[in-house]
Structures are given as structure tokens and as C-alpha cells.
DNA sequence: ACATAATTGTTTGGTAGCTAACAAATTAGG
DNA sequence: CCTAATTTGTTAGCTACCAAACAATTATGT
């Protein structure tokens, strides 16, 4: 009787949600001693790996909304981990880079690869590829339906 | 050089996140005219489909934390859509049920099946099954690592 | 019986995400 | 050149999620 809607909740969509939150929870538990959230970690990771970056580029690289990133950057600046400077020729843009404290903290952080490895490490790569393709296709369709086809 | 972490971001985990948020965004856009959020819709759906339910059971049925559901129920009660009564013999428990306004609103809501159908409708069922199995397995591993194996 | 455990719900404070509206700076068009 | 559109970042207000601490109630154990 309620198979139809129930299937929406307990199938790919539902498991995508559960898997996302389970991974995020593990990241946040691991990072809690360092007072960092999961997306804050991604920003630090990018700055540590790729050096100073324009905030406007991070929006696309991390696939967030401007407003979301703005808040996350504000938190990292408040903690003294990231410097947000108005440097360049375009006075609208902000450049983000690690402060000394940010570099020090980054070098102290544990390696988070174990999360990905534990979750997906010994799953058949062919199955992984199929799962990615299914999620990617579904995401594209949903974005299309949402009004703008931003499935690049 | 950054293939390892990058793969964590742009593979199953990353797509699970994008897929979850894309589906949720479409739900919320559809429900915005009715002033309902996606999880609020799930609560109404459950009450409309299964009748009065103990709040404590909904926690498990919708796979949320007590605190999360508490806030969502408070919003629905504030909007006059749900009645939260302290009825039974156990004075701690609350029973939730739709009010008349809640039943009326529910009957006016559009059918959301189109979201699931659009996203997954014409994907090979065998691939869907593999995707579910991958996500389910990964979620179980993550839960285990998080300390308590609640992979029922 | 009575102190202690466990259960149920709420509150507080935090992260992460979105839209909409705004300000400032830059770019385009006429 | 000057107005209008676009880009960039912030703010405000919302949903949804979590953990930790609290109050109230019920269940347990001695």
C-alpha cells in the first residue's frame, strides 16, 4: 500500500542521505578535538594543497553556494586559521590563504583517508563505478527539473 | 598528486551528498508554496498514511535524532498541522496526529512521486540494486567505525 | 521502599545548507 | 561618459542535522 512513497524513502535516495550523514558524522567526530567542521576541513585541505585561492573559485571547486561559503570562511577567519584579504586589482574579490596558525593546525590534523577507505575500500570497483553513475545521473535529472541544467 | 583525497570528494561520497541535496532542493521548492520543509513532509506523510503515532517511534521510523524530531514537531504544532498530546499511560510519551487543518493541507499537497520517478525512473533496476547495496554497505561500515553498530 | 537506571522529550549551541535581498565594484551598452 | 547589468561577498531568516545537558517519568535492583 505504501510501497511507492516508502520506496522513495528507503531506496537510493534514502541511502544516499544516510551514507552522506554517516560519513560526515565520522569526519566531525574525528575533527571535534580540533574544533573543525567537515566543510571547514575541505576549505583548509584545498588551501593547504593548492595554496592561496580566490573565494569565488572555491564556491565552484567545493560545489557550495556563495552564502554558505561566506559563513564557513567567516568561522575560519574568526578562529585565526585563514586570512581573507581584499588584495588584487578586482576590489570585489577576496583571496583566501592559510595563516601560520592554520598551517600549524593542518600539520597536526590526522589523515582522514581512513574514512573513505573504511567505507569503500574493499567494494568491487565495478560496483563503485555503477553506484557513481547512478547517483550522477539522478543528480543531473534533479538539477534539470529544478530549473537550470547545471550538470557540467 | 591530490588524487587520493580528491577521489573522496568526487566519488561515491561526494555524489551521495550531491544527490541527497538535489532531491531535497526539489522537494523544498515544490513544498515552498505550502510552507513545508522536506522532513516536515515526511512526518505528515507518516501520520496521514499510518494514523496517530508515538513520537518516540517516529524517531526510529524516520531515522532521526530525538532532538531533531522535537524541533520539527514543534514547527508543525506551531503551524497547527499536528496535535501533540500527552495521552497514554506513560506520561513521558507524546502521541502525534494530524489536526483537521493538517488533513486538509495534506489533501491539497501535490504528489511527490514525480521526484523519485524523474531521478531513478528509467535506470536499470539491476544498477539501482547495486547502488543501494554499495551505499548500504558503506553506511554500515561508517556506523560501525562511529562506535555503535546500528546497521539494522 | 528507595536509590539508581533508563527512557522520553526539550533546550541550547554548533555545523551545514538554501533563498532572497542588499551593497560595492566592475563590466557592458548606448 | 554614464547608465544598466553582472559579479562578488555579506546578511537575515529559514530547514535540518547533531551532541550534550536537563527535567520529568518510569523501570530496576537491592
* B53-76 per-position pLDDT tens digit: 999 999 999 999 999 999 999 999
Shared-domain flag, residues A74 and A34: yes
Lowest mean pLDDT among A55-64, A140-149, B55-64: A140-149
Shared-domain flag, residues A63 and A81: yes
Predicted pLDDT at A146: 78
Contact call for residues B109 and B102 (beta carbons, < 8 A): no
Query: Left if phi > 0, otherwise alpha if psi is -120 to 50, otherwise beta: which for B44?
Result: alpha
pLDDT in tens, chain B (152 residues): 444 444 445 689 999 999 999 999 999 999 999 999 999 999 999 999 999 999 999 999 999 999 999 999 999 999 999 999 987 788 999 999 999 999 999 999 999 989 998 899 889 999 999 999 999 999 999 988 877 333 33
B147: in domain: no
The residue with greater pLDDT, B142 or A1, is: B142
Please, which residues have CB within 8 angstroms of residue B39's CB and are 6 or more apart in sequence? B62, B64, B68, B72
Query: At which residue does the C-alpha cell 546497521 appear?
Result: B151
Question: How confident is the model over A78-99, as pLDDT tens digits?
Answer: 999 999 998 778 999 999 999 9
Shared-domain flag, residues A114 and A137: no
B142: in domain: no
Shared-domain flag, residues A54 and A91: yes
Domain span at residue A12? 3-121
Shared-domain flag, residues A26 and A70: yes
B68: in domain: yes
Shared-domain flag, residues A72 and A19: yes
Indicate the number of domains in chain A. Answer: 2
Contacting residues of A for B23, CB less than 8 Å apart: 13, 16, 138, 142
**Mean pLDDT confidence for A109-128:** 91
B72: in domain: yes
Q: Does residue A147 carry a pLDDT above 80?
A: no
Q: Which of B44, B20, B53, B33 is nearest to B103 (CA)?
A: B44
Domain of residue B107, CATH code: 1.10.10.10
Determine the nucleotide nearest to A31 by Cα–C1' distance.
C15
B152: in domain: no
Shared-domain flag, residues A99 and A35: yes
Predicted pLDDT at A93: 93
Shared-domain flag, residues A9 and A78: yes
Shared-domain flag, residues A90 and A127: no
Contact call for residues B119 and A146 (beta carbons, < 8 A): no
Cβ separation of A120 and B135 shorter than 8 Å? no
Predicted pLDDT at A87: 73
Number of H helices, E strands in chain B: 8, 3
Shared-domain flag, residues A84 and A117: yes
Beta bridge partners of B82: B98
B3 has a chain A CB within 8 A of its CB: no
B45: in domain: yes
Predicted pLDDT at B7: 44
- What is the percentage of chain A residues whose pLDDT exceeds 70? 90
A130, with CB counted inside 10 A (0-12, 13-18, 19+), is: buried
Q: Which of B123, B117, B109, B24 is nearest to A146 (CA)?
A: B24
Predicted pLDDT at B69: 97
**Mean pLDDT confidence for A119-123:** 90
**A-contacting residues in B 29-68 (Cβ below 8 Å):** 29, 42, 45, 49-50, 63
Our measurement of CA A94 to C1' C24, in angstroms, reads 13
Shared-domain flag, residues A59 and A94: yes
Q: For residue A23, what pLDDT band results from cuts at 50, 70 and 90?
A: very high
Q: For residue A150, what pLDDT band results from cuts at 50, 70 and 90?
A: very low
Radius of gyration in angstroms for the set of CA atoms belonging to chain A, rounded to a whole number = 19
Whether the beta carbon of A149 falls within 7 A of nucleic chain D: the reply is no
Shared-domain flag, residues A70 and A141: no
Mean pLDDT of chain A: 88
The grid cell for A88 is 588584487
Cβ separation of A127 and B130 shorter than 8 Å? yes
Amino acid at each position: 500500500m505504501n510501497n511507492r512513497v516508502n520506496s522513495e524513502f528507503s531506496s537510493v535516495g534514502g541511502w544516499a542521505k544516510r551514507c552522506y550523514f554517516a560519513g560526515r558524522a565520522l569526519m566531525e567526530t574525528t575533527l571535534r578535538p580540533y574544533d573543525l567542521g567537515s566543510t571547514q576541513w575541505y576549505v583548509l585541505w584545498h588551501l593547504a594543497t593548492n595554496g592561496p585561492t580566490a573565494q569565488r573559485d572555491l564556491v565552484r571547486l567545493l560545489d557550495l553556494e556563495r552564502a554558505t561559503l561566506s559563513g564557513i570562511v567567516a568561522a575560519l577567519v574568526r578562529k585565526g586559521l585563514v586570512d581573507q584579504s581584499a588584495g588584487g586589482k578586482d576590489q570585489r574579490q577576496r583571496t583566501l590563504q592559510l595563516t601560520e596558525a592554520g598551517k600549524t593546525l593542518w600539520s597536526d590534523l590526522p589523515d582522514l583517508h581512513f574514512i573513505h577507505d573504511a567505507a569503500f575500500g574493499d567494494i568491487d570497483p565495478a560496483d563503485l563505478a555503477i553506484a557513481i553513475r547512478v547517483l550522477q545521473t539522478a543528480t543531473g535529472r534533479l538539477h534539470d527539473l529544478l530549473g537550470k541544467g547545471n550538470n557540467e
